[in-house]
Structure 1
Amino acid sequence: MSEWNVDDRPELPPEAGDTPAWNFDPNNVWLATAPEELQIEAMRLWFHARYQDPANDTPYNGREGGYQFIHGGPYDPDDVIQERFGSIVKYEVMEKLITELHEDVGGYEWAPIDHDPEWDYEEYYSMLPVDRTDPLKMLDERLGQIEDTITAQAAPQGFVIQLLHSAVITALEAYLWDTTAYWVTQNKTILQEFVKGNKDFAAKSFKLSEIFTAMDGIEKEVVEYLQTFIWHRLDKAKPLLEKTLGIQFPKFESIMPEIITRHDIVHRGGRSKDGYPVQVTIHDVRRVASLVKDFAVELESEIKKAFPLEGAEPALPDF
């Protein structure tokens, strides 16, 4: 798996391309002569705008051989990177990114991201959290459903226990999405901070005549960006929420091994990278659920410090 710390990734210059982050496509003329590290970053952004961990949106059926790629695929980074960039970037440069992606969550089998032009944004918008307490409530409901599944079975089998463990991590991802989506859609100041603090948005340039059109569509673009964000990458979620909300992101070191375990369950058929079966128990599921709940409670506490429940919400603190 690739390194968790990605804070040192380079920023692309405006001439790299001005397409939206969720549909980034680099300028070929710029890319051909760009430094190697910028070529890799541009290809990485292009790839992640189009392909995702199949665990995010792909049905899984163990009896049918695993993920059912109903939206197309699976896609090997080696194939799609070479197909798009083979005539522009040297193979040894592409190979560095391909190796990184092979070691990441999707491995050799990635799922496509559906950028359906017919996507009903208004219908989707209606499903976003409408109250600041909704994300934690929904997390409680999801964790409660997991506990109900445990108690409903006299003796859950190993495969079921693995799925329950994975479901806890999925509940954490959903909570982080719900929380971020709520604040950027309900508070214009926070939306502004998100755009200013996110390099995929902050570096974009507009003609003066395009500014108002861009402003009208920025919230939709941010929500689409958050849709494709890989929320179990807590190292990426940390700076995103800290810059956007002006809070201290809770410590997550105790959760990271569980995310790796979930990766082995989902992507390696329940085996570690060394080939050994992943061993999880009902006690482990409940322990991880407790870690996730404690993490969420601490995050909620940080949000309340920045935005007290009583009275008007204060302006964001200086960063």
Structure 2
Amino acid sequence: MSEWDYDDRPELPPESGDLHARQFDPNDTWLATAPRELQIEAMRCWFYARYQDPVHDTPYNGSEGGYLFIHGGPFDPNDVIQERFDKTVEFEVMEELIAELHQAEGGDEWAPIDHDDEGWDYEDIYSLRPEEREDPLRMLDERLEQIEDTIKAQSALPGFVIHLLHSAAITALEAYLWDTTSYWVTRDKEVLRSFVKNNKDFAGQKFQLSDVFIVMDDLERKVADYLQTFIWHRLDKVKPLLELTLGINFPEIEKFIPEIIIRHDIVHRGGRDKDGYPVLLTIADVRRLAKLVEEFSQELESQLKKVFPIVPIIDDF
């Protein structure tokens, strides 16, 4: 068993469908004969591309009886999964995933994802990219400062807030890695070339020679979509990707493994570990993690400066 097994979901092959689509929809021909675990993963990806825990984007009014599903719903995984897959997948396979989703955050009442209002427009994504070389580190520092400011603003923090701050530190690390990769891939054509060449999700794609210019014109958009959906806390996957893409020595990741497992338990198990015991954290734990993230970013920036030296600007008087 891998030490990353807390998030050890199987990878779908290219023939399963367009893995970079905003709303993944598996190929039914492939799905009908796929192994059970891949059938479940494909249906899971389909579901999470369309539905979410209502806490993320659904108004709540206690006096009105709870969540106000203004975008439609609530939706029960049992209904939508059977409606979509009953002609392709055996019921007992669907049943396994349905039981998993019923035990997850949304239970039997999930909200639809409003793709028209979630900031997925390509131009919006592009406008949010770092514009300057120092932006990824600057934005990381701002996120870490917000965590520290939240700690200092109150004399005592309840446990669930400490959990949120711990998760926010891991999220800050994820965002930094995303921002850094996005900056170099979109600013340096050689880095983009290296990214595509060394990424099996892209390198293995086939197309007709007559479509080469269409593919090239759409390549940056596909890379942007890919970076949006990449699981950045899977540092075991981030490490080889960035080492091959950027030509750097990726900083040590082992020290983050227990922290990411804790974050997983906070987010996906309601603050309990795999044995059902509460995750106990202190403010000192949050600060220690924030320091790890800061040190990690400084080491990564040092590696980037070796590969991409900063050329001083000389004023010409």
Bigger shift: 208-217 or 93-102?
A: 93-102
**Matched residues in 1 for 2:156 and 2:47: separation?**
42
The answer (yes or no) to whether the contact 1:169–1:232 under 8 Å persists in 2 is yes
The answer (yes or no) to whether the contact 1:31–1:39 under 8 Å persists in 2 is yes
The answer (yes or no) to whether the contact 2:10–2:37 under 8 Å persists in 1 is no
Aligned residues: 306
Bigger shift: 131-140 or 45-54?
A: 45-54
Which runs of 5 or more structure 2 residues have no equivalent in the other structure? 313-317
Q: How does 1:97-246 map to 2 (within 5 A)?
A: 114-116=114-116, 119-246=120-247
The answer (yes or no) to whether the contact 1:58–1:67 under 8 Å persists in 2 is no
Give the corresponding residue for 2:89.
Answer: 89
Let me know the Cα RMSD of the aligned residues.
4.0
**Matched residues in 2 for 1:36 and 1:106: separation?**
24
The answer (yes or no) to whether the contact 1:17–1:26 under 8 Å persists in 2 is yes
The answer (yes or no) to whether the contact 2:137–2:176 under 8 Å persists in 1 is yes
Query: Shift in Å at residue 88 of structure 1?
Result: 1.0
Q: Is the aligned partner of 1:31 residue 2:27?
A: no
Bigger shift: 208-217 or 63-72?
A: 63-72
The normalised TM-score by structure 1 is 0.75
**Matched residues in 2 for 1:101 and 1:198: separation?**
31
The answer (yes or no) to whether the contact 2:140–2:173 under 8 Å persists in 1 is yes
The answer (yes or no) to whether the contact 1:4–1:235 under 8 Å persists in 2 is no
The answer (yes or no) to whether the contact 2:198–2:245 under 8 Å persists in 1 is yes
Q: Residue type of the partner of 2:25?
A: D
Q: Residue type of the partner of 1:188?
A: K
**Matched residues in 2 for 1:268 and 1:20: separation?**
27
Q: CA deviation digits over 1:205-231, x for unaligned, max 9? A: 323333212221221222122222232
Query: Shift in Å at residue 254 of structure 1?
Result: 1.9
Q: Residue type of the partner of 2:171?
A: T
Give the corresponding residue for 1:254.
Answer: 255
Q: How does 1:297-308 map to 2 (within 5 A)?
A: 297-308=298-309
Query: Shift in Å at residue 234 of structure 1?
Result: 2.3
Q: Residue type of the partner of 1:85?
A: F
The normalised TM-score by structure 2 is 0.76
Give the corresponding residue for 1:316.
Answer: none
**Matched residues in 1 for 2:78 and 2:249: separation?**
38
**Matched residues in 1 for 2:194 and 2:280: separation?**
42
Q: How does 1:48-63 map to 2 (within 5 A)?
A: 49-50=49-50, 58=57
**Matched residues in 1 for 2:67 and 2:287: separation?**
26
The answer (yes or no) to whether the contact 2:6–2:264 under 8 Å persists in 1 is no
Shift in CA distance, 209/24, structure 1 to aligned 2, threshold 3 Å: farther
Which runs of 5 or more structure 1 residues have no equivalent in the other structure? 312-319
Q: CA deviation digits over 1:34-76, x for unaligned, max 9? A: 4556545644554565467889x65899x99999987677877
Identity %: 64
Q: How does 1:307-318 map to 2 (within 5 A)?
A: 307-310=308-311
SS of 1:161's partner is: helix
Give the corresponding residue for 2:13.
Answer: 11
SS of 1:254's partner is: helix
Bigger shift: 20-29 or 218-227?
A: 20-29
Q: Which has the larger radius of gyration?
A: 2
The answer (yes or no) to whether the contact 2:167–2:266 under 8 Å persists in 1 is yes
**Matched residues in 2 for 1:250 and 1:59: separation?**
39
Q: Residue type of the partner of 1:28?
A: D
The answer (yes or no) to whether the contact 1:130–1:182 under 8 Å persists in 2 is yes
SS of 2:249's partner is: coil
Q: CA deviation digits over 1:154-199, x for unaligned, max 9? A: 2333333222222211211211111111112111222222223333
Query: Shift in Å at residue 19 of structure 1?
Result: 7.1
Shift in CA distance, 40/271, structure 1 to aligned 2, threshold 3 Å: closer
**Matched residues in 2 for 1:231 and 1:113: separation?**
21
Query: Shift in Å at residue 266 of structure 1?
Result: 3.2
